[in-house]
Structure 1
Amino acid sequence: MKNFLVLGAALLALPCTSAWAQGPVSGTITDARTGAALPGATILLDGAPAGATDASGAFALPAVPAGSHELRVTFLGYQTLTRTVQGQAEAQQVSLGLQSGGILTGEAVVTATRANERTATTYTNVSKEQLAARNFGQDLPYLLDQTPSVVVNSDAGAGVGYTDIRIRGVNNTGINMTINGVPLNDAESHGSFLVNLPDLSSSISSLQIQRGVGTSQNGGAAFGASINISTLENRREAYAESQNSFGSFDTWKNTVSFGTGLINGHFTVDGRLSRIVSDGYVNRGASDLKSYYLSAGYQGRSTLVKFITFSGREKTYQAWNGVPEPGITGDQQLLKQFVDNGELSAADAERLRQEGRRFSYYTYDNQTDNYQQNHYQLHLAQELGPSWSLTLTNHLTRGFGYYESYRTNRRFSAYDLPNVVIGNQTISRTNLIDQKWLDNYFFGSTGALSFHPQSYDKLQVTVGGAWNRFLNDHYGEVIWAQYASTGSIRHRYYFSDAVKTDYNAYARTTWQLIPRLSLYLDLQGRHINYNIDGIDDDRSALGTHVSYTFFNPKGGATLTLAEGQQLYASYAVGNREPVRSDFTDRPVGDQTARPETLHDVEGGYRFSRADLLGANTGLRFEATGYYMGYRNQLVATGQLNDVGAALRTNVARSYRTGVELTGGVSANDKISLSSTLTLSRNRILNYRDVTYNADFEPVVAAEARTTTISYSPSTVSAHTLEGQPLKGLRLALLYKTVSRQYLDNSTSEDRMIKPYQVLDFRARYAIRPSFMKEIELGLLVSNLLNREYVANGYTYGYPDGAGRQQTFNFYYPQATRNFLASVGVKF
């Protein structure tokens, strides 16, 4: 493996040496007022496009010919800057600051919730270009796989369909996600189901990941991280683009996008249509995904009005049951145990022997999840003078859908139906098909008022908040039964409704106390009312009525040591309410779910220079230490409920602590290496194991001990080596490692996800013919070394007939070597 990487580095670097003698010009582009980097600014040399700034605002022109040239920099919402540069053999470094002007941009809407170099927060910015480089049709988590502390997995094994992301060991129910400042997390489950918004990545203009509590956000609290998504980019020129991919498992992606550019200097219309289909790596783990995006807006010098609507419709074959452990290991004795204990039928066991790690539990042809989610957003940004600005957003999300299941040998009583009596025979069970429905509305308003005096640039104050309401109907219907009893088609056997109101207010300020020291303070209050009434799917009565009021203070300081060097430290508190399943799926005898509290301490050092190791050679490094101490943390037990959601339990005291190291070096835009390494310790204090006796009653261990939190690897790393051996050709190797994870909190080697390492290869080749802007060919080879590994799983156990405790593990195998090839055109 080591020799392979060294060889790859040598091949990528080979053509680079001759280019460094051609008079390079590099530099950084920032906001002249705030000093903030401007990623995505357009660089033109003598009127011809010459590149764009990266996520840190840096750019590089590898070879500027001798003589005088015009360097022009444009960025929407800023005045165009022109500067003369002289081509010469020696490398040149320039730092340019753009003055705001022209028109107000959509980024003003998300600025209120974004972290920056003054907010003493641990964050990573991901640019549109970085997302596009990895976007072959896989879901957004896979595009973020190389960012710090991230672990991703896919139910169907290939990154299409249901996927999940964990950051610092916390899954997406603890990751606050917003789109243009509007909460995306489901108000009841706290999950962000990106399968409902396929190919959202093609409409993202910028993205920021904040690790830890971060800044105040709308929606659920960040208990591991937040992902702040913006789709508000506007492009000055009209465009039309098409991106098309094809690959393993009959995977197809087709995307068409267009934009009018600025009409009369003020009006814009942008749109996208996408379709993604895949058979999945797991047998029958198919996905059929469709989506659209449309925005129309007016932009003036001090006013922005923008309407955005986007929608996704998904149909995925249910793969959330995973693969029984014998299908992964081939252990026939263990397979017999699954059969003897009724976990698998003899027929299922035979299929498992044949299908192996690609086994799918279901065979009914319409065992599918079907859901549609429509989003509507109306944004207003208004400058109220030289120092004040206001942003307001009204939003509505409409979601509806069901999952359909074929079920065998079910009791009539479980479906609120009487037994069937035929003569002297009483039939109490039947085979049937049911659908479980969700029908919901999420609506509300968000806003922020910012004060940034021109006469005193050292102070910035933002006051904001939101009011949101969620209405959700849960119900089930029987659409077919072998023995119908008295039920009619679409017999409804349960119904419950949920109403959740969530409002928050926050005040945030940054103050540059002295030239090198900035202070940050962020205070948020949040109130939640949550009510559930009706009958659950197991026919039990529901009656949850809870209210919570939380206070979430945050503060920190940033010290600038020298140009490109910063130290920062922060302390933050986050509070979060339990999710729906914490109330409805509590084990017998368990206490009522309690809210969680997080105390987060972050500290770090940042270093970034574009010329430290020589002309046009950039170097960056960041080291972060964190301690996240929890009270009443809800941790996964390792078990799932009947719709694949993790069951959780409160633990009194637990913590996550670690070090995140991130670095990168680049030379002349010809070759770059970036790496991130997280070393962490994730522990529950005074934990007592829960087992079950012969009567299936929970038995709590008398002895308390310190144990590892489930699904929390102690080591995660990601490394990307990328080079440009020929103009327009970019090659990259992407290497990911994840240490072992436990399926529950027992720290048992018998309930573990083994460590894994994955190597991917990516190639993109772009040409710019005279008849169009660009033609790009791409190739992604995932799992290049063809490793068999699993990235997720679950476990449960109970006593057998002799009273002996039995454990049953299920895993989600990820695809062996596979590919996606793409063709993109831009007009």
Structure 2
Amino acid sequence: MSREELNKRNFGQDLPYLLDQTPSVVVNSDAGAGVGYTDIRIRGTSNTGINMTINGVPLNDAESHGSFLVNLPDLASSISSLQVQRGVGTSQNGGAAFGASINISTLDNRREAYGESQNTYGSFNTWKNNVQFGTGLLGGHFMVDGRLSRIATDGYMNRASSDLKSYYFAAGYQAKNTLLKFIAFSGREKTYQAWNGVPEPAITGNRALLQQYIDNGELSEADAARVQQEGRRYSYYTYDNQTDNYQQNHYQLHLTQGLGQDWNIGAALHLTRGFGYYENYRANRRFSDYNLANVVIGGDTITRTNLVDRKWLDNYFYGGTFALNYQPHDNDRFQATVGGAWNRFTNDHYGEIIWAQYASNSTIGQRYYFNDATKTDYNAYARATWQVLPKLGVYGDLQVRHIEYDIDGVEDDQNDVTTRARYTFFNPKAGATYALAEGQQLYASFAIGQREPVRSDFTDRPAGDQSAKAERLEDFEGGYRFTRSDASLLGPKTSLRFEANYFYMNYRDQLVATGQLNDVGTALRTNVARSYRTGVELTGFASADDKISLSSTLTLSRNRILDYRNVIYDENYTPIVDAQPRTTTISYSPAAVSAHTLEGQPVKNLRLALLYKTVSRQYLDNSASLERSIKPYQVLDFRVRYAIRPTFVKEIELGLLVNNVLNREYVANGYTYGYPDATGRQQTFNWYFPQATRNFLASVGVKF
């Protein structure tokens, strides 16, 4: 996707929403309208399995493997190009790609000076304002670019506001064979916590089910009253500063240097500094849970208190990457790259009490838990492409990756989370492309990807339990591409593209979501010995004379766990494992996903687009139970952009995006858990993340 394609879609929503029309993608938003915490899944794999890089530097958090784009609001406005690579893909830096790779570049050089401002207002008091500038090429060698942005919204869900600020700055030098560029970008977010979602009765209005939540202590009487009052926009939290506060600063130094006619090298140094906390009001908590003494007043002993705590992260991620490229100047049929990276991540996790109804023996900012983590990750790879015959090209790719991960200390539940984990992975890849005729290709590839467990796979287990295993994926891809531009086909400037891609992703020890979450909204996972994803991805595009175009994608897939034993819990939260294994559907993996965009230009400079998205049923856990699932949904959006070019500025563009035109009430994410009640009957508790009904974003963009 080019800068222009991204800009067409960019009204201030988070980056996953700009990728919603790409194949096999499903997106969701905690706050319901695409601003704040959002998530993306590709082929059923969450962003913990999607390797995301910015200019070749890993963006995924080293411990959780997630890419928290809420920390980089309006990043899309600084992107020059973006590539989504489904499957394992080619070797690169960062974590393993188990669903896809998203490679972001901001490195292009705009030779002409520019100034721009984008301003959006929309439903739920949503605002986006930014200013961008660039000097162009100064003196034939120097360039400076910058951006300041602010995005704010009340959110669709009640008490789900976001206040997001960011900047981007780049300064570069280029000569005949040299490009040196320094980049700094940062984001600061304050979001009211919406990661609990809403209980199922808020969606269905079922009062009997609501009573079940009350009877089992999942909701208080006061909470239940608010469920009935607020409905699907219900927010679990009422404390006025139940917020997540985080800042992330990125610094990159890139060098590209030509080494004669046939060689060049690219290298980068990077540092990411992250710090912040989320604040919680905690009711009726035991003093012992916070390492505090009971309080004695007169003859009464008080064992519990209401309090407010903050859980902090304080981390550094730094390292370097390089790639040495060989391209013979007299032979364009062969090229090779040798590359690698060394990265280190250090992170302090700790909690503080900032207020308590009964202070006990605490002090100001009482620290009640602390653990630190260090992760070192280094890899080396070599790959080559060779056009063996005029119609046949092949490539090979070998990567070795080593990880050392250490945790020392205790977690918030006073559980000792000391961990020592070491992994070495060898990931080979190979493929071939064959030209059937002009504009027609057959291709096939095979790749192995392996990755280590995430932090929660260790810390959310009993003390000393390090049984979480690394995952292994064997990914086979094969397909057919057709591309044709032919003035005689349908008319002048006609373009046709079609691709059919088959994939088979065979897993060993895949870590799959159980449907439960920990206390910060992270999915709990378990290893399953054997599982697979297989399916076909169909994409097509047709345009005529730049007046009208239609693009469509359809993914049909089968996602299964073999020999799965479901786990339920008794009233003492003791796990009960099914006696008989069975084949079941992997959680959060829809069997059918489609996206369609019909765009037209009825008059010059006016572009209209209809965007239609469908997602089939998703299961919240691996039981494949309809009672624990997300219903299929379809969403229609409408977009219009109109550009005028007055004499006093280069361009003024007016835009309007109407989301969910048909006003559907749907949910796009959720989680589940269950246990037996006093009678021994198994109870299920589903929580969902409703998405906004019909809403709009209107924009005014000015280019100077």
| TM range, smaller chain | over 0.9
Separation (CA, whole Å) in 2 of partners of 1:515 and 1:711? 43
What amino acid maps onto 2:126 in structure 1?
Answer: T
The equivalent residue for 1:745 is 622
Q: Which amino acid aligns with 1:551?
A: F
Following the alignment from structure 1 to structure 2, what is the Cα–Cα distance between the partners of residues 639 and 566?
44
* 1:707 aligned onto 2:584: yes
Inter-partner Cα distance in structure 2 for 1:692 and 1:616:
63
**Contact persistence 2:419–2:466 (CA under 8 A):** no
Question: Which of these residues, 127, 131, 143, is aligned with residue 2 of structure 2?
Answer: 127
| CA–CA separation in structure 2 for the residues paired with 1:148 and 1:285 | 29
User: Which residue matches 1:606?
Assistant: 481
Counterpart AA for 2:456: S
- The equivalent residue for 1:335 is 210
2:170 pairs with one of 285, 295, 309: 295
Preserved CA contact (<8 Å) 2:125 2:153: yes
Q: CA deviation at 1:386?
A: 0.9
Residue number in structure 2 paired with 1:530: 405
Aligned equivalent of 1:782: 659
| Aligned-partner SS, 1:664 | strand
Residue 626 of structure 2 aligns to a residue whose secondary structure is coil
Q: For 2:417 and 2:32, how far apart are their aligned partners in 1?
A: 36
Distance in structure 1 (CA, Å) of the matches to 2:463 and 2:21: 41
Q: Does 1:668 pair with 2:545?
A: yes
User: How do 1:554-569 residues align onto structure 2 when only pairs under 5 Å count?
Assistant: 554-569=429-444
CA distance in 1, matches of 2:169, 2:139: 20
| Maintained 8 Å contact 1:507/1:523 | yes
- Alignment partner of 1:542: what SS? coil
Q: Which moved more, 1:415-424 or 1:356-365?
A: 415-424
Mapped contact 2:415–2:462 kept (Cα < 8 A): no
* Cα distance in 1 between the residues matched to 2:463 and 2:99: 29
1:244 matched to 2:114: no
Determine the structure 1 residue equivalent to 2:67.
Answer: 192
Alignment partner, residue 256 of structure 2: 381
Q: Which residue of 2 aligns with 1:232?
A: 107
Residue equivalent to 2:55: 180
SS at the partner of 2:627?
A: coil
Cross-structure match for 2:569: 692
1:590 positional shift: 7.5
| CA shift in 2, pair 1:811/1:250, >3 Å | same
Residue 613 of structure 1, CA deviation: 3.5
Could you give the per-residue CA deviations for residues 279-298 of structure 1, whole angstroms, max 9, x where no partner exists?
Answer: 00000100000000000000
CA distance in 2, matches of 1:222, 1:541: 30
Q: Say whether residues 1:257 and 2:132 are aligned partners.
A: yes
Secondary structure of the structure 2 residue equivalent to 1:525: strand
Cα offset for 1:341? 0.4
After superposition, the C-alpha distances for 1:481-535 in whole angstroms (9 at most, x for unaligned) are 0000010110000000000000000000000000110001000000000000001
Amino acid at match of 1:672: S
Alpha-carbon contact 1:588-1:698 (below 8 Å) kept: no
Query: Residue in 1 aligned with 2:376?
Result: 501
Residue 55 of structure 1 corresponds to which residue in structure 2? none
Question: Aligned with 2:32: secondary structure?
Answer: coil
Select the residue among 160, 181, 195 that pairs with 2:35.
Answer: 160
Secondary structure, counterpart of 1:130 in structure 2: helix
Moved more, 796-805 or 128-137: 796-805
Q: Is residue 756 of structure 1 aligned with residue 637 of structure 2? A: no
Q: How many residues in Structure 1 have an aligned counterpart in Structure 2?
A: 702
Q: Is the 8 A contact 2:659 2:695 kept in 1?
A: yes
Question: Does the 8 Å CA contact 2:458/2:465 hold for their aligned counterparts?
Answer: no
Answer yes or no: is the 8 Å Cα contact 2:491–2:545 preserved in 1: no
Q: Distance in 2 between matches of 1:690 and 1:516?
A: 53
Aligned letter for 1:223?
A: F
Which structure has the greater CA radius of gyration? 1
* Structure 2 counterparts to residues 171-570 of structure 1, below 5 A: 171-570=46-445
Shift of 1:424: 1.1
Aligned counterpart, 1:805: 682
Partner residue in 2 for 1:20? none
Mapping for residues 52-91 of structure 1, pairs under 5 Å: none
Measure, in 1, the Cα distance between the counterparts of 2:639 and 2:19: 15
* Of 557, 560, 569, the match for 1:683: 560
3-state SS in 2 of match to 1:352:
helix
Match of 1:750, SS state, is helix
Pick one of 650, 654, 668 that aligns with 2:531. Answer: 654
Kindly tell me: are residues 588 and 485 of structure 1, through their superposed partners in 2, closer, same or farther at Cα, counting changes over 3 Å?
closer
Q: Quick one: distance in 2 between partners of 1:414 and 1:629?
A: 43
Give the deviation of 1:353 after TM superposition.
0.1
* Alignment-mate amino acid for residue 429 of structure 1: R
Amino acid at match of 1:677: L
Which amino acid is 2:470 matched to?
Answer: P
Name the CA distance, whole Å, in 2 between partners of 1:354 and 1:574. Answer: 49
CA deviation after TM superposition for structure 1 residue 591, in Å: 6.8
Map of 1:40 onto structure 2: none
1:580 corresponds to: 455
The answer to whether the 8 Å contact 1:613/1:619 transfers is: no
Give 2:647's aligned amino acid.
Answer: S
Range with bigger deviation, 621-630 or 586-595? 586-595
In structure 2, give the amino acid aligned to 1:700: V
Distance, in Å, in 2 between the alignment partners of 1:504 and 1:718 is 36
Which digits, 9 at most, give the CA deviation of each residue in 1:180-228, with x for residues without a partner? 0000000000000000000000000000000000011211100000000
Q: CA RMSD in A?
A: 0.9
Given that residues 444 and 469 in structure 1 are in contact (C-alpha distance below 8 angstroms), is that contact kept between their aligned partners in structure 2? yes
Contact 2:609 2:640 survives alignment (8 Å): yes
Corresponding position of 1:109:
none
In structure 2, the partner of 1:720 is: 597
Structure 2 partner of 1:77: none
CA distance in 1, matches of 2:349, 2:462: 21
Q: Would you say the 8 A contact 1:588–1:697 is kept in 2?
A: no
Shift of residue 589, structure 1, vs aligned partner: 11
The DSSP-based 3-state class of the residue aligned with 1:195 is helix
Q: 1:587 to 1:786 in 2, by over 3 A?
A: farther
What corresponds to 1:635 in structure 2?
512
Q: Which residue of 2 aligns with 1:94?
A: none
Matched position secondary structure for 1:376? strand
Normalising by structure 1, report the TM-score: 0.84
CA distance in 1, matches of 2:572, 2:214: 21
Distance 1:441 1:164, change over 3 A: same
Contact conserved, 1:707 with 1:745, CA < 8 A, in 2? yes
- State the AA in 2 paired with 1:271: G
2:25 equivalent to 1:150: yes
Per-residue CA deviations over 1:283-320 (Å, capped at 9, x if unaligned) read 01000000000000001111000000000000000000
**Paired residue for 1:773?**
650
Mapping of 1:18-37 within 5 angstroms?
A: none
Separation in 2, partners of 1:694, 1:819:
46
Instruction: Give the residue type in structure 1 aligned to 2:689.
Output: Y
Partners of 2:569 and 2:81 lie apart in 1 by: 49
| Residue 693 of structure 1: how far off its partner (Å) | 2.1
- Alignment-derived partner of residue 13 in structure 1: none
In structure 2, which of residues 671, 691, 695 is the aligned counterpart of residue 794 of structure 1? 671
Are the counterparts in 1 of residues 416 and 463 from structure 2 also a CA contact under 8 Å? no
The alpha-carbon deviation at position 233 of structure 1 amounts to 1.6
C-alpha displacement of 1:692? 1.4
Letter in 1 for 2:2: S
Contact 1:696 / 1:799 at 8 angstroms: preserved in 2?
A: no
Greater shift in the superposed pair: 798-807 or 143-152: 798-807
